[in-house]
Structure 1
Amino acid sequence: MSGVKLTNVVKKYDSVQVIHGVNLEVDDGEFCVFVGPSGCGKSTLLRMIAGLEHTTGGKIEIGTHDVTHEDPANRGVAMVFQTYALYPHMTVEQNMGFGLKMNKSPKAETARKVAEAAAILKLEPYLDRKPKALSGGQRQRVAIGRAIVRGPEIFLFDEPLSNLDAELRVEMRVELARLHKELGTTMIYVTHDQVEAMTLADKIVVLRAGYIEQVGAPMDLYRDPDNVFVAGFIGSPAMNFLAGTVEGGRISVPGLGGRAIETSVALPAEGRAVTIGLRPQALQLSEGNSLKVDLVEQLGGVSYAYLTAATGERLVVEIKGDDDPKADSATSITFDSSTMLVFDAQTQQRLR
């Protein structure tokens, strides 16, 4: 097994630069997730590690080997794509063993490795079936099995669950977590879904416009984001943001009726604009009329109230229990100021 190290990695398409000097270390056996909005460069970075995209500048190392300009076949990686890319005329067994067959591995060895992968992925009953006779989740497991039989040092996943329905996505997340625990191999996984990132990752890499915004364990990013982008991207529902101004050593928030909030955070100069961040889970509804209730989502054990302030700013509040407000009614919120995050409105960076 091996880790991955990226040093000042750059990717350009002619004069357009899409990856900007990325530095990153993925430890041996770690499950690392690249997450970010569409177009942020996460799939490009993954394909550069795989060798499917040329690296314009910098260095990529797998284990102790510099593979920056190495052929994909010589990098010791196996990649699972968003599309299953299975051969429709082959059985599950043939699809899983095809790569080994092309490398002229002995038939007995191929059969053994396919059987081992099928056992891990619970595919033994389907080995004689063709892809058209499988569900979407089963097809994706076959694609993963094809990667397993190669015995790679690194597994690379490029949004492998995007084509599955919601129930299958949850099921496959559990399968992938179990697979990583069982194999102990380094895995790098690309997704735009922060729920997948939070539930699967040992380490999350948040990307935006070809730059790394922050790297850390899932709950570290949730509790201690460096900027507005990371704070808003990690967590479901997303963090609420309200504009404020520093006045008399406190933060005046027009969206909360001009309420002045005390904080232990080192605030900038008087009159400076700031942004406060509030998790939906940290808010409680209270008597008042500073906020209008637009909609209440009732999901069983939890509900979400969608509110609008007089300033037009929107908030989401998590409600546990049955005491849900009515749509079009007025309400207010309370919260412990220690749960509030404060950001500089101009730089978008966290104030601590």
Structure 2
Amino acid sequence: MTGVTLRNVTKRVGDVQVIHGVDLTVEDGEFCVFVGPSGCGKSTLLRMVAGLEDTSEGTIQIGNRDVTHADPSERGVSMVFQTYALYPHITVAENMGFGLKMTGHPKADIEKKVAEAARILKLEPLLARKPKALSGGQRQRVAIGRAIVRGPEVFLFDEPLSNLDAELRVEMRVEIARLHREIGATMIYVTHDQVEAMTLADKIVVLRAGRIEQVGKPLDLYNDPDNRFVAGFIGSPSMNFIAGVVEAGAVAAKGLAATVATSAALPGAGTEVTVGLRPQHLRIGQGDTHRVDLTEALGGVSYVHLTAPTGEKLIVERHDQVDLAPGTRVGLGFEAADAMLFDRDGRRLR
């Protein structure tokens, strides 16, 4: 297997630039996830690696080969799409081996590779079935099996689980993680679901408007985001953001009626900043400053949705069972060490 290197990769469509000078290295055998909101350019960037979109500027390397302008068939990649794209009139085994058949591989070689892919994906009992007799998760496994059979250097996944229901998405996440461990291939995976990104990735690439906001290990991005966008996108429920103002060596969090003492480099007194707090870092206590809007009691965890006196919407995560009725008034507290600070442009204050 081999890695992927992007250097100053740019994509223009007419006068519109949709990918802005992306630099990225995906190491050999790494599971890299592109994540971001709809329209951020993650699928476009993946398709550029696959050769399905032209590269306006920059270079794309797979291993030691410059494939920037190479035909998709010459890049050594295999792509799994959001739609299964299976041929309905042929069997699972025939679907999986179709690509090799079209390139003239010997029948015995095709059967061997199909059998090995079926073993990895636990598809052996389904090889004689046609796609209409399969569940959604089984069809997606067949699509992945078709990619495995080709023996690519790099696997590319474009939101492969978005058409599945919640239970099947969890099941398929486990399957894909196990597949990566078993075959050790380089994989690049696109999703808008940050839970998928956190659970699957060795490395996450957070994209916004065609630019990379931050690259890192999942927990590094969660614990140490570079900016407000990454802090809000990584983590579920999302981070709470509270308006603040700089005082002498501290920040007053208006929505919590509290002060955050910090060693971070702060702008001048009176400057507006933002205080970020994860839902699990807020504590419900005595007082009547915040109004309860809704309590999601899920058994082992509860989410309490609140409105601050300043009108900001906040979420508190509790690992117990609480039942606070809408309209109840409560106070909130937190530890200053848990707060993150961001300037007016969203940059992290450290």
Q: SS state of the match for residue 264, structure 1?
A: coil
Q: SS state of the match for residue 7, structure 2?
A: strand
Post-superposition offset of 1:326 = 2.3
Give yes or no for the alignment of 1:38 onto 2:47. no
1:179 paired residue number: 179
**Cα distance in structure 2, aligned partners of 1:112 and 1:333:** 62
CA contact (8 A) 2:12 2:19 kept: yes
CA contact (8 A) 2:242 2:255 kept: yes
Unaligned runs of 5+ in 1: none
- Give CA deviations for 1:65-89 in whole Å, capped at 9, x if unaligned: 0000000000000000000000000
**Cα distance in structure 2, aligned partners of 1:2 and 1:19:** 24
Superposition pairs of residues 209-220 of structure 1, within 5 angstroms: 209-220=209-220
2:305 paired residue number: 306
Give yes or no for the alignment of 1:114 onto 2:114. yes
CA contact (8 A) 2:302 2:317 kept: yes
Q: SS state of the match for residue 94, structure 1?
A: helix
1:272 paired residue number: 271
Superposition pairs of residues 153-232 of structure 1, within 5 angstroms: 153-232=153-232
**Cα distance in structure 2, aligned partners of 1:323 and 1:12:** 52
**Cα distance in structure 1, aligned partners of 2:122 and 2:322:** 44
Give yes or no for the alignment of 1:351 onto 2:349. yes
Q: SS state of the match for residue 156, structure 1?
A: strand
Percent identical among aligned pairs is 69
2:282 paired residue number: 283
Post-superposition offset of 1:320 = 1.6
**Cα distance in structure 1, aligned partners of 2:157 and 2:199:** 15
- Give CA deviations for 1:101-157 in whole Å, capped at 9, x if unaligned: 001000000000000000000000000100000000000000000000000000000
AA aligned to 2:264 is V
Runs of 4 or more above 4 Å deviation: none
1:233 paired residue number: 233
**Cα distance in structure 1, aligned partners of 2:215 and 2:165:** 29
CA contact (8 A) 2:249 2:263 kept: no
1:76 paired residue number: 76
2:65 paired residue number: 65
1:262 paired residue number: 261
Post-superposition offset of 1:271 = 0.6
Q: SS state of the match for residue 86, structure 1?
A: coil
Post-superposition offset of 1:290 = 1.1
Post-superposition offset of 1:323 = 3.8
- Give CA deviations for 1:189-236 in whole Å, capped at 9, x if unaligned: 000000000000000000000000000000000000000000000000
AA aligned to 1:107 is K
TM-score scaled by length of structure 1: 0.98
Q: SS state of the match for residue 198, structure 1?
A: helix
- Give CA deviations for 1:147-182 in whole Å, capped at 9, x if unaligned: 000000000000000000000000000000000000
Post-superposition offset of 1:324 = 3.6
**Cα distance in structure 1, aligned partners of 2:118 and 2:133:** 17
CA contact (8 A) 2:274 2:343 kept: yes
Superposition pairs of residues 87-106 of structure 1, within 5 angstroms: 87-106=87-106
CA contact (8 A) 2:302 2:322 kept: no
CA contact (8 A) 2:97 2:146 kept: yes
- Give CA deviations for 1:223-270 in whole Å, capped at 9, x if unaligned: 00000000000000000000100122221122113x222122221111
Count of residues in correspondence between the two structures:
350
CA contact (8 A) 2:29 2:187 kept: yes
AA aligned to 1:241 is F
**Cα distance in structure 2, aligned partners of 1:27 and 1:95:** 31
AA aligned to 1:75 is R
Post-superposition offset of 1:341 = 0.3
**Cα distance in structure 2, aligned partners of 1:313 and 1:195:** 25
1:328 paired residue number: 327
Farther off after superposition, 313-322 or 110-119:
313-322
AA aligned to 1:301 is G
1:55 paired residue number: 55
**Cα distance in structure 2, aligned partners of 1:94 and 1:165:** 27
**Cα distance in structure 2, aligned partners of 1:62 and 1:142:** 26
- Give CA deviations for 1:264-297 in whole Å, capped at 9, x if unaligned: 2221111111101000011111111111000000
Unaligned runs of 5+ in 2: none
